[in-house]
Chain A
Amino acid sequence: MKLIKSLLTIAIVFALTINSFSNDKTDGYKVGDKVSDFTITNYDGATYTLSNSGAKATVIIFMSTECPFVQPYTDRLLGLNKQFGSNGIAIWGINSNKTEPTDEVINHAKDRGYTFPILKDDNNVVADMLGAARTPEVFVIDNNSMTLIYHGRIDDNKEADKVTSNDLQNALNDFIAGNAITTNQTKAFGCSIKKN
């Protein structure tokens, strides 16, 4: 009886332990969830740790060198970095596509003139952790609370002259103003991330 009680206690403790570990979700996060920290050691040897981004909020954008839904956003992303970079917002582009090798990612970033870092997410570790499925796909994390405060698209149209809703820009403006983000979850088409 004593043995059964002990085993039961161990089982309960084990179950509770697994629960707390599973805060490191493998099926993605909802807005409001606490996000696990991560570190990427990039191809240039620099390390990028989410909790250490030095920003009030970190904007993670899953990118691709080939996806036709990503390419039209170059100027808009450069504009966002210019607008918010000096306001305590860090933008990180992340490439998790197994079909896009590091050299291609480096050359593409150079061609596009990205002014923010593009990180290579080998074995799609960060993509899986955040639940990213497509490119482009945006996750904004409040670095103070490490919570996801915005998830979704950059804006509502890949063609810049047809945009009616600048969703990411609006979210960042709300955040900087100290306001709750009005629209914190949006959707758009994108290319599936080619994962290992």
Chain B
Amino acid sequence: MKKYIILLLILFIFSSISQAQELLPANKNVLDSIKSANKGKVILFNFWATWCKPCVEEFPDLVKLNEKYKDSTFKIVFVSLDFGKALGENTKAFLKKHDVDYTSYFNNFAKDEDLINYMDKNWEGSIPATFIFDKAGVLKKSFIGKQKYDDFKKVVIKYLK
């Protein structure tokens, strides 16, 4: 009986960890839901990939930003552009390494151009790319290319007020 309870406990803990670090497909409906569910919050969407060096370099700053402001009205949404084999193995390992124990996403739009235009019609499609929406859901800042912590923080703070 004791062994059975221990086994159940292990399975429960494992499932909790797996669920917490979910990597889910994102299409238009999913992104609409995220925006809708987080109305009243400043939302930062970051598009990245494990093979994208500048994305990897700025990633810890974004994780740090989330740590600093997650208890306030701030939401960070990572969307990976990894594909193929990298998506299953490398992406999850990378997220785990950077202690991203919350849900993040991968591109599941049928057409890349639809995702690009969904975020910002002025975005030509290069990554890393970060988009910051204010509490009313209006796009306020698009960062194309690698940024520093202070660059992100300055904009986030402005719209958290």
- Interface stretch among B27-35, B64-72, B108-116? B108-116
Query: Is residue A192 within 8 Å, beta carbon to beta carbon, of the partner chain?
Result: yes
Query: Is residue B52 within 8 Å, beta carbon to beta carbon, of the partner chain?
Result: yes
**Whole-angstrom CA separation of A190 from B81 in the bound complex:** 10
What string of 1s and 0s marks CB contacts (under 8 Å) between B135-161 and chain A? 000000000110000000000000000
Instruction: Contact check, B145 vs A192: say whether CB atoms are below 8 A apart.
Output: yes
- Interface stretch among B1-9, B95-103, B124-132? B124-132
**Whole-angstrom CA separation of A146 from B54 in the bound complex:** 35
Residues of A within 8 A of B14 (CB): none
A-B contact count (CB 8 A): 55
Measured CB to CB, the closest approach of chain B to A189, in angstroms, equals: 5
Query: Is residue A120 within 8 Å, beta carbon to beta carbon, of the partner chain?
Result: no
Residues of B within 8 A of A157 (CB): 112
| Chain A interface SS verdict (over half) | loop
**Which A residue sits closest to B129, measured CB to CB?**
A192
Residues of A within 8 A of B36 (CB): none
**Which A residue sits closest to B124, measured CB to CB?**
A133
Name the contact of A189 in the complex, choosing from B53, B127, B145 (C-beta under 8 A): B127
Known: A192-B54, A192-B144. A186 touches B113 (CB 8 A): yes
Instruction: Contact check, A133 vs B113: say whether CB atoms are below 8 A apart.
Output: no
Residues of B within 8 A of A156 (CB): 111-113
Residues of A within 8 A of B (CB): 66, 68, 99, 133-134, 137, 153, 156-159, 164, 186-194
Residues of B within 8 A of A (CB): 49, 51-54, 81, 83, 86, 107, 111-113, 116-117, 123-128, 144-145
